[in-house]
Amino acid sequence: MSLRTAPPPPPASSAPRLLAALLLAFLGGAAGAEERVRIGVARGLSTVQVAGPGLAATALRDGAGPRPSAGDRAEVRLDGDELRLDGAPLQGAGVSFTADGPIRCGDRLLSGEVEVRRGQGGLQVIDALPLEDYVSAVTGAEMPLAFPPEALKAQAVAARSYALSRKLEAVEEGRDYDLGSTVLDQVYPGQAIDPRARAAAADTAGEVLVNGRRPVEAYFHSACGGRTERGLDALGRDLDYLASVECGRCGAAPKAAWRLALPAEEVARLAGLPGLATGFSVAERTRAGRAARVEVAVGERRARLTAVELRRRLGYERLPSLWFSVRADGDGFVVEGRGSGHGAGLCQWGAAGRARMGEGYREILGRYYPGTEIVKMY
């Protein structure tokens, strides 16, 4: 049933068991099995050092039994084309490390199972961990922990759904890992997990947003500014559940309204034109009202670029969102806007506002991902 129109269901959703079983089988799980996820946390390295209690290493080529690494530490080095473990040649694609507790790799504390593999441009590090641990870590990294519990639960379900959608893609494409660990996927900081984030994951354990027969690409952002954006316009993802919907509850966000002053020379340079910009305007908008294209003039010369590209060139922090207008101001221009992020899917500050009004996480998710339903998948 649609989350947008249905009353709050009981904690364990009555979603089709067949769908959950089919997805689990495709993902390589089974009823009652612990769902896991593989996160690429680093790549392009020449040396990787790991440390952990009871550290043991197994070559990925033949799986010939683990061997202890002296002093609970180990080093993997790529010396030309030769892979070395603690100085000794290592055959195969890489090495898997296990430990009796978290494994430290650089400045990150990872799970007790870490792989170091040959990858494009050097070594890559993969953290293989229970999905619920991953959801807990992402929830605490992506949403302020001071937000109401129902908002944190909504974030947990969104993070879990996005992770499983990417895991399905990884299975289909044969990738070594399911997701990265940065904002290009979801921010995974490692195993330092706050109890509030852990509780949000535990309270929604196994719950996944689905549309049709797949987990949804549950994109989210900080603050929409009043109305979310279509997935097609924001991300190039033409998905029914990434619709533009009214929010109206993110006015307390730090960047609910913002202002950016730009010198005329910088505006011209952003558009690839020499000289000083004499004009700067929004030339086209999306259906929701965000900038789609901008036009810059330097005398008689004009150049247009997409607003997405403008934001990339300026920097995502300087230009927080594409919901803006432009006006001339002295020798330059002022960009005034609202909201923060790409605008598609869950508005995090909106979710917090709705939770403070008494809405539960199911109702919140139903608003921001219309046409989806929650499946208790495991």
pLDDT in tens, 70-94: 679 999 999 998 999 999 999 889 9
pLDDT at 5: 27
- Mean pLDDT for the stretch of residues 109-122: 94
pLDDT for residue 44 is more than 80: yes
Q: For residue range 238-281, what is the model confidence (pLDDT) as tens digits?
A: 999 999 999 999 999 999 999 999 999 999 999 999 999 999 99
Query: Is the per-residue pLDDT at 63 higher than 60?
Result: no
**Mean pLDDT, all residues of the chain:** 91
Kindly indicate the confidence band of residue 10, based on its pLDDT and cuts at 50, 70 and 90.
very low
CB 97 within 8 A of CB 74: yes
Cβ(273)–Cβ(355) below 8 Å:
no
CA-to-CA distance for 53 and 98, rounded, in angstroms? 9
Taking phi over 0 as left and psi of -120 to 50 as alpha, with beta for the rest, 121 belongs to left
Question: Residues of 315-334 as b/e, b for ≥16 C-beta within 10 angstroms?
Answer: eeeebbbbbbebeeeeebbb
In angstroms, the Cα distances linking 83 to 55, 73, 76, 97, 260 are 19, 17, 7, 15, 49
Q: What is the pTM of this model?
A: 0.91
Is residue 61 within 8 Å of residue 138, measured between CB atoms?
no
131 to 36, 140, 323, 345: CA distances (angstroms):
5, 14, 35, 22
Report d(CA 50, CA 76) in Å as an integer.
8
Q: Give the pLDDT score at 182.
A: 96
Beta strand pairing call for 36-45 and 179-180: parallel
Segment 336-359 shows an average pLDDT of: 98
The pLDDT score that the predictor gives to residue 28 is: 55
Tokens found for residue 90: 């290592």
Q: Which of 47, 57, 73 is nearest to 115 (CA)?
A: 57
Encoding tokens for residue 138? 């992402």
287 torsion bin: left (phi>0), alpha (psi -120 to 50), beta (else): alpha
Residues contacting residue 352 through CB under 8 Å, at least 6 positions apart:
144, 147, 148, 151, 249, 250, 252
Question: Quick one: pLDDT at residue 354?
Answer: 98
| pLDDT exceeds cutoff 50 at 67 | yes
Residue-range domain boundaries for the chain:
17-33+131-246+343-376, 38-129, 258-337
Beta bridge partners of 97: 57, 114
